[in-house]
Amino acid sequence: MMHRLFQFFSHAIRVRSSWLKTLTVVAISFLFTVSVVSCSNGSVTSQEVAGDVSSSTTSEPSEGNSGVGGTLNSILDAGSVKIAVPQDSPPFGSVGTDGEPQGYDIEVAKLVAEALEVDLELVPVTSTNRIPYLQTNRADMVISSLGATPERAKSIYFSSTPYAPFFSGVYGTTDASVADYEDLSGYSVGVTQGALEDLELSEKAPDGVEIKRFEDNSITVSALLAGQVDLIATGNTIAGKVIQDNPDADLENKFVMKNSPCYIGVRRGDLDMLEWVNVFIRHKRFSGELDTLSQEWFGEPLQVPSF
C-alpha cells in the first residue's frame, strides 16, 4: 500500500514539474512578444529603414534640375557659364562699333562669371528667343532686360530681387523743381504720341500742364534738347542714351511714372542656381557695383524697387 502511494506522489510531482516548465516557457515567450511589440510601436523597423534608404537613393531629380546642385554644379565642373544677353536693346545690350557686345547686361554677365570664377560665354538673344534658349539648355541663365510676369513665371524662375531698372519717368534739367505729378503744373512736357508715357501723363497730370505730343522718340528728345519743352516723359533706356550722349545738357530723372524692373532668369526647378543668383544680386547692390554700372549705362543712380 505504501509503495503505491509513493509511486502516485512521485508521478504527480513529475507532472507538476513539467507543467511549471511549460508555463515558464510560455510566460517568457509572451513577455518577449509584448516587449517587441511595445518597442516597435511608433518606431522604424530594420526592413523599413532598408526600404527608405533604397527609395531615397533611387529618387528622381526635380523637374528642370540635373540632380543635386543642378546647373550650378555643372557650371563649376565645366569651368564656364553660358549667359543669354540682348543684342538689339541698347543700353542693356548691343553690338559696338568694334563688333563686340556692349551694355549694362553684358557688364552684369561679366560680374557673374567673375563671382563664379569661371569663363564667360555670351549667348546673344532676342526678346522672343531668350526664354526658349534657357529652357533648351543653350544658356545657363538669362540676363536680358527681362521683366517678371506671372505668365513667364510658369516657364522659368526669376531672381527674387531686380538687378536693373526699367521704367517710365519724367526727365529735365537740374534747375527744374519737379518731384511728382503735382509739381508739373506750369511746365510744358513732351511725350511721344500714343506711348505709355502719353497715356499715364494724360490721366495723372494736374491742371496747368501743357502736354506736347510728338511723332516719335527722337523728335521728343530733340524738342527737349532744343528747349521747345521744359521736360519729357519717356523710358529710362531712351533717357539714359540721351544723358550719355549729351553730358553738357545737365539732364536728370525727376520721378518714376511706372516701374517694370529687370530680373535674372534661371531654369524652372533649378533652386541652387536661383539661390546663388539671389545672393549675387544682393551682394552687388550692397557693394555699389550695380549702381556704378547704372551710372555708366543709364546716366543715373540705380533705381529699382525694394520689396
- Provide the residue ranges of all domains of the chain, joining segments of one domain with +: 70-165+261-298, 167-259
| Nearest C-alpha neighbor of 126 from the set 88, 183, 171, 169 | 88
- Please write the tens of the pLDDT for every residue from 50-66: 333 333 333 333 444 44
Cα gap 206→180, rounded to integer Å: 10
HEC letters along 206-219 = CCCCEEEEECCHHH
Amino acid identity at 229:
V
Which residues of the chain are modeled with pLDDT < 50? 1-3, 5-6, 8-9, 13, 15-16, 19-68
- Please write the tens of the pLDDT for every residue from 231-272: 999 998 889 889 888 999 999 999 999 888 999 999 999 999
CATH topology assigned to domain 70-165+261-298: D-Maltodextrin-Binding Protein; domain 2 (3.40.190)
Angle value at C-alpha 168, between 162 and 173, nearest 5 degrees? 115
Would you say the CATH fold of 167-259 matches that of 70-165+261-298? yes
| Nearest C-alpha neighbor of 274 from the set 150, 149, 140, 164 | 140
Cα gap 265→277, rounded to integer Å: 9
Return the pLDDT at 14.
52
Return the pLDDT at 7.
52
Terminal CA-CA length for the chain: 108
Return the pLDDT at 77.
96
Cα gap 123→133, rounded to integer Å: 9
CATH topology assigned to domain 167-259: D-Maltodextrin-Binding Protein; domain 2 (3.40.190)
Return the pLDDT at 307.
61
Return the pLDDT at 53.
34
* Residues contacting residue 246 through CB under 8 Å, at least 6 positions apart: 225
Cα gap 188→172, rounded to integer Å: 11
Return the pLDDT at 88.
80
Return the pLDDT at 28.
41
Return the pLDDT at 301.
86
